[in-house]
Structure 1
């Protein structure tokens, strides 16, 4: 029943670049300020959260700004990364995240543009509680 997710070898560099950026918004080396998060998201970015709610870019930026005023100590582990090219310079990255004991499947659509990688869409689906 599980899909066989294999990344095409020609996408190895893309996969490696994107693995370094996930889990999304949890990598301090890519920034911790609202401006940093705004720079890494497309202007029409949105996400579907584990809560099953949809959130626009402004809401996500507000939440990230608030979270990073007193950054939480988090324990996380990622695995099962797979990358698929959707269109020229647009990629779907999927993976599994265990964050503070809660497992979720993640999907992020990334676009590479002259300014670097931009997140277009993100979704997390809880598959196991803490």
Structure 2
């Protein structure tokens, strides 16, 4: 039933770079200010939350700016990373995140730009244990 999620060998360098950046917005070494988050997201970035609600870039930036005022204490673990090239300089990264005991499957579309990596789209889907 599970799909074959083997990253093509030629993408191992990209996979390693993107793994260092996830979970996105939870890695202080890549920035904690609104300006940092603006720089790491494409102008037309948006995301779909665990609820299924769609969020605009402006909304996400507002939430991140508010969260940065009093950063939450978080325990997280990532696993099952897979990278797939969608087009030239455009990659889909999927992985599993356990954040404070809550497990989700994550998908992020990353674009490699001349000035670094940018997030185009992100989605988190809760894993419901049967």
Q: Same fold (TM over 0.5)?
A: yes
Q: Which residue in the other structure is 1:88 paired with?
A: 88
Q: What's the counterpart of residue 15 of structure 2?
A: 15
Question: Which 4+ residue blocks in structure 1 deviate beyond 3 angstroms?
Answer: none
- What residue is the counterpart of 1:5 in the other structure? 5
Q: Matched residue pairs, number?
A: 129
**Aligned-partner Cα distance in 2 for 1:127–1:10:** 30
The TM-score normalised by the length of structure 2 is: 0.98
CA distance in 2, matches of 1:85, 1:29: 25
- Aligned partners of 1:47 and 1:55 also within 8 Å: yes
* Deviation digits for residues 71-121 of structure 1 (CA, Å, limit 9, x no counterpart): 001000000000000000000000000000000000000000101000000
Gaps of 5+ in 1: none
Q: Does 1:70 align with 2:65?
A: no
1:2-38 CA distances to partner (integer Å, 9 max, x unpaired)?
1110000000110000000000100000000000000
Structure 2 segments unaligned to the other structure (5+ residues): none
Deviations 1:42-85 (A, max 9, x none): 00000000121000000000000001100001000000000000
Q: How does 1:103-122 map to 2 (within 5 A)?
A: 103-122=103-122
Q: TM-score, normalised by structure 1?
A: 0.98
Match for residue 53 of structure 2?
A: 53
The change in CA–CA distance for 1:128 and 1:76 in structure 2 (over 3 A counts) is farther
